Every structure is written in C-alpha cells, then in structure tokens.
Amino acid sequence: MDLIEFYVDKNYNERLDYFLSKKLIDVSRTYISKLIKDGLITVNGEKTKPRYLAREGDLITIKLPKPKELEIIPENIPLDIIFEDRDILVVNKPKGMVTHPAPSNTTNTLVNGLIYYNNSISSVGDITRPGIVHRLDKDTSGVLVIAKNQKSYEVLVEQFKRRKVKRMYIALVYGQLQLKEATVNAPIGRHPIDRKKMAVVYENSKDAITIYKVLREFRDYSLLELHLQTGRTHQIRVHMAYLNHPIVGDMIYSKRKNEFNITSQLLHAKAIGFYHPRNGKYMEFESQLPDEFLNIIELLEKRNR
C-alpha cells in the first residue's frame, strides 16, 4: 500500500473527492470516493465523507492499495508482423485490439498474442505489459515496435523519453483547417468533469506537442498527416477536438454527425522510425491504411471530381 500525505495550501471550496481527482490524475473520482468511504483517505487523521470541503491547513492522508498483479494468458491470436529480428518485433495492430491487458480487459489483447508467439517476451519490461514500449488506443490501427529482450526495452524506452522516435499518423478530420501546416502545443490532462476523458487543461497536465500537415481537402473533411513530439493519452484525438476539427468516427471527442456509420476514429499509425537498440542503425517501418479507411477516402475522392 502506497502512502501519500500533504497539507492543503488554501481553501478551494471543492468537495474532497473532486479536489483529489485533480491531484491524483490517474485515479478516478469514483474510486477516490470509495477510498474515502473505506477510511483509506482521511483528513487530519479522521474519517470523513466525499462531500467534505477541503480547508487550508488540512492534512490529507491517502493509503493507495497496490493494484493486483494481472495473470497474462498466452492466446493464439494472429499477428501481422512487419519485421522481426532477435531484438525487436514490429507489428501492424488492427483496429479493435487493446494493446495490453488491464483489469477490465484481460484477454484478446496484443500482449496475449505476443507471449503466445514468443513466451520469452513475458519477462521483458513491465510485468503487466511485457515488451510494450509504447501503445495505441484500442480503435487506432497501425504500427507498433515491441522489445524482445530487456536491453532492447531499456534502449527503446529511452529513445521515446528523449523524443528520438518518429511517429507519423494519418487521420480524417471534420472541416477544413485554416492553417494547412502547424504545430499544436497545448498541455493535456484529465478532463475536469469526465475523468474517463482527456482534455487540454493548464493544471495537473503534461506538455503535449503535435505537428500536422493537410494532405488533401474534401468538401467537408480534411486528410491529415500528423507527427507526435510527445505521447500523451489520446493526444491526437484531444488536440484535433481542441482545434474544433475532431477525428471522424471518434465517439468520445466528437458529437458530430457520422455519415459513414463507423463507430471508431479514422486514425492510423502509418509509420514509426527509431534507432535499432543493438547496432544503432536508423530504421523506419510503415503499415498500409485499413480497407475501411481507404474506402472512405475513395468515396470522398469521387465526390470531389
């Protein structure tokens, strides 16, 4: 159990559960309320209620239970392998596949398939997501690099940390952007109300930088090439919604009419480039757009004629 203690620096006039949900950005408000009710969050050493208003000088004590370790079950899931050697594996993840297990989703993930394909990967990196050095959202398709040994894992993680990895995406967004090429530099953190979403916020957030370029304009849509300089959760989706040009099909960050009857975002990780963890040679890999994405582009091209 992790222990966190701090003093409230001023009167925020906010419920304790809401106040703490902004401090503990990876913990949901619902779970925080449960911890308060269970006596694992106290104020000045006393049990309290989620509706308590935090006051200046209050001592908040939080006892965070350690998450239960997940048992990752090898599953015979077909993998679309683009490249493989003794150190790395590059795969094309399909839309609809979760990258790694979580308490709410323990099977049919990419990691389940990876450790069936090569069980030695199960001892690489984080025990809950072995081999994974970056991830894609469930409904984002495209290219991922996997570490097959600990040394490769450490080298690749460091490259991501130092922003040495090229990550290029293709997206179809609503509308036509005024600037045809630009950099979006806007910090991202948990949405202040809906804790399942991310948003551009300026408190309890992390820097987030996305570079985009318009590849093709259609009547009501634009096809973009985007490059990540940082890797925040839902980054491209949040930044495009922030610009009021959300990604077509995004059921979380867009409320616009979807004429294509799709239920997931048209966002594809097209290319990744990095330095090989053993020999230092720069490598770059690409994956083809899914048929659904290609068919929609073809339809829009026909309309433009």
Catalytic residues: 137
Q: Which residues contact 255 (CB under 8 A, 6 or more apart)?
A: none
Measured between alpha carbons, how far is 265 from 256 in angstroms, rounded to an integer? Answer: 12
Measured between alpha carbons, how far is 165 from 282 in angstroms, rounded to an integer? Answer: 10
- Helical residues (DSSP H) of the chain, grouped into ranges: 16-23, 29-37, 110-117, 150-161, 235-242, 291-304
Q: Please report where in the chains the tokens 């309890």 appear, as a residue.
A: 204
Measured between alpha carbons, how far is 134 from 136 in angstroms, rounded to an integer? Answer: 7
Cα Rg, the chain, nearest whole Å: 22
Structure tokens at 187: 């910090």
Pairing of strands 188-190, 198-200: antiparallel
Please give the DSSP secondary-structure letter assigned to residue 118: -
Structure tokens at 8: 């409230």
